[in-house]
């Protein structure tokens, strides 16, 4: 099979969907690996490394024309014309990207999304590594924007002897949230975790030895904690569905001026009211006196680390798909859950519901 890897074109994106190790594994199975020249430059992956591993360096058009196209982020507006009736494997977040969904349907693409590949235990094996990265980055981004020169309150996240650290509230105790919590605790912040799941809160309490304040999620609890926080991190996820808005503009208006909110869920529409997708070049917007950081591809800030973390998880699935998309999907329920669009229809139930489309079985 021809496996294509185009250069990512989303603003500030630095990752590549395949490493030399992945190219070697595919080539060893007899597949033709077509990588757009320069695709890995910002992730520390050179053309020479990929060529030595068995890849052929090609144009963007040739990469997109492959039987299986693998990417990191959803197709951008200038890439929609390159879609065709092949297979595409990437992060799609279609519930928040109806224009992309429409283009995939029109092109007849078999589109599989990393973020809806779901194991039998409910875990999301391909989203998990990027959630880990985003959770840790959220705390670093928040700490940066709390600094006075960057528009913040002038609060040091860690504090110093005699002065407490910043108050940090994390909404959601899943993968991204738990990594944000661990990072914030490690830096010496005063941390509160809010989640609907009491078992998740118990695990946090045990893991951090009581150093994290835990609260069951209610609108009242969220409002009270947000108002007192220096940094709020929204890490709420409903796979395949738009993120619920859990922080309102009215809550933000009661925060101290210069406070910071980080919306990790912005790829799925965002969980903070007033948040709009931003870029690494222009990452924050002012909402009621606070700064809202809502970069839609946060892990791209650490492209070398993020590329390796992502491809460690995706490569086994890529190898199966390259050996035959239909057989791979039929033989792996987790991978079948990744199918969002097929035969000109939106087939993932949650995505179809979010976009108001008729549901058809994958």
Q: Which residues pair with 192 in a beta bridge?
A: 169, 213
* C-alpha span between 143 and 126 (Å, rounded): 27
Distance CA 316, CA 328 (A): 11
pLDDT digits (tens, 9 = 90+) for 119-135: 999 999 999 999 999 99
**CA gap 20, 40 in Å, rounded:** 10
The rounded distance, in Å, linking the Cα atoms of 116 and 75 is: 17
- 3-state SS assignment for residue 229: coil
Instruction: Give the whole-number percent of the chain exceeding pLDDT 90.
Output: 95
Asked if 284 and 151 count as a contact pair (C-beta separation under 8 A), the reply is yes
Q: What is the CB neighbour count within 10 angstroms for residue 210? A: 9
Q: Is 247 exposed, middle or buried (0-12, 13-18, 19+ CB in 10 A)?
A: buried
The pLDDT score that the predictor gives to residue 362 is: 45
Mean pLDDT of 188-198: 97
Beta bridge partners, 345, equal 342
Whether 284 shows a pLDDT value over 70: the answer reads yes
* CA dihedral sign, ordered 130, 135, 136, 142: positive
* Buried/exposed 168-182: b ≥16 CB within 10 Å, e otherwise: bbbbbbbbbbbbbbb
Q: 9-50, pLDDT tens digit by residue?
A: 999 999 999 999 999 999 999 999 999 999 999 999 999 999
Half-sphere exposure of 325 (CA within 13 A, CB side): 20
Mean pLDDT, rounded, for 198-213: 96
Contact 157, 166 (CB under 8 A): yes
- Taking the mean position of all CA atoms in its chain, how far away is CA 79? 20
Tokens 């940066």 sit at which residue?
144
- Predicted confidence at residue 46, as pLDDT, reads 98
Give the per-residue pLDDT at 361. Answer: 46
pLDDT > 70 in the chain, percent: 98
Residue 241 binned pLDDT confidence (cut-offs 50, 70, 90): confident
What residues are annotated to the active site?
93, 267
Sign of the alpha-carbon dihedral angle for 185, 191, 196, 202: positive
Question: pLDDT tens, 297-342?
Answer: 999 999 999 999 999 999 999 999 999 999 999 999 999 999 999 9
Quickly list H helices, the chain. Answer: 20-28, 47-52, 60-64, 98-107, 128-145, 175-186, 198-207, 219-228, 249-253, 303-322, 325-331, 333-336, 349-355
Q: Which residue, chain included where needed, has tokens 């194991």?
A: 119
Question: Based on the number of CB atoms within 10 Å of its own CB, is 229 exposed (0-12), middle (13-18) or buried (19 or more)?
Answer: buried
248-279 pLDDT, tens digit each? 999 999 999 999 999 999 999 999 999 999 99
CA distance 218 to 175: 20
Handedness of CA 197, 202, 207, 211 (dihedral sign): positive
Tokens of 339: 């199918």
Confidence of residue 239 (pLDDT cuts 50, 70, 90): confident
The CA–CA distances, whole Å, from 193 to 39, 187, 199, 214, 275 equal 39, 16, 13, 5, 21
pLDDT of residue 264: 97
Distance spanning both ends of the chain, measured CA to CA: 22
């Amino acid at each position: 099979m021809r496996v294509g890897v185009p250069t990512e074109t989303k603003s500030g994106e630095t990752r590549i969907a395949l490493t030399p190790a992945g190219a070697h594994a595919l080539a060893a199975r007899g597949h033709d690996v077509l990588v757009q020249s320069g695709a890995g430059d910002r992730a520390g992956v050179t053309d020479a490394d990929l060529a030595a591993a068995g890849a052929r360096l090609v144009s963007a058009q040739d990469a997109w024309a492959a039987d299986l196209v693998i990417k990191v982020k959803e197709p951008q507006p200038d890439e929609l014309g390159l879609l065709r009736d092949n297979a595409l494997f990437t992060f799609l977040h279609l519930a928040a990207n109806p224009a992309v969904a429409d283009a995939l349907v029109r092109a007849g693409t078999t589109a599989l999304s990393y973020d809806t590949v779901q194991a039998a235990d409910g875990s999301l094996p391909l989203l998990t590594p990027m959630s880990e990265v985003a959770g840790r980055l959220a705390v670093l981004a928040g700490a940066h924007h709390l600094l006075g020169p960057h528009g913040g309150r002038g609060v040091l996240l860690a504090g110093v002897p005699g002065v407490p650290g910043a108050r940090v509230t994390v909404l959601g105790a899943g993968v991204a949230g738990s990594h944000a919590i661990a990072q914030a605790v490690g830096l010496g912040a005063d941390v509160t975790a809010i989640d609907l799941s009491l078992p998740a809160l118990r695990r946090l309490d045990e893991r951090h030895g009581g150093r994290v304040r835990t609260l069951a999620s209610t609108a009242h609890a969220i409002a009270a904690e947000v108002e007192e926080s220096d940094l709020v991190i929204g890490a709420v996820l409903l796979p395949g569905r738009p993120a619920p808005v859990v922080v309102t503009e009215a809550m933000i208006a009661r925060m101290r001026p210069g406070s910071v909110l980080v919306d990790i869920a912005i790829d799925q529409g965002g969980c903070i009211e007033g948040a709009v997708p931003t870029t690494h070049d222009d990452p924050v917007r002012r909402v009621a006196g606070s700064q809202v950081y809502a970069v839609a591809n946060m892990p791209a800030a650490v492209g070398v680390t993020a590329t390796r973390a992502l491809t460690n998880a995706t490569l086994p699935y890529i190898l199966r798909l390259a050996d035959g998309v239909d057989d791979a999907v039929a033989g792996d329920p987790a991978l079948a859950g990744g199918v969002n669009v097929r035969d000109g229809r939106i087939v993932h139930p949650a995505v179809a519901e979010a976009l108001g489309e008729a549901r058809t079985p994958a």
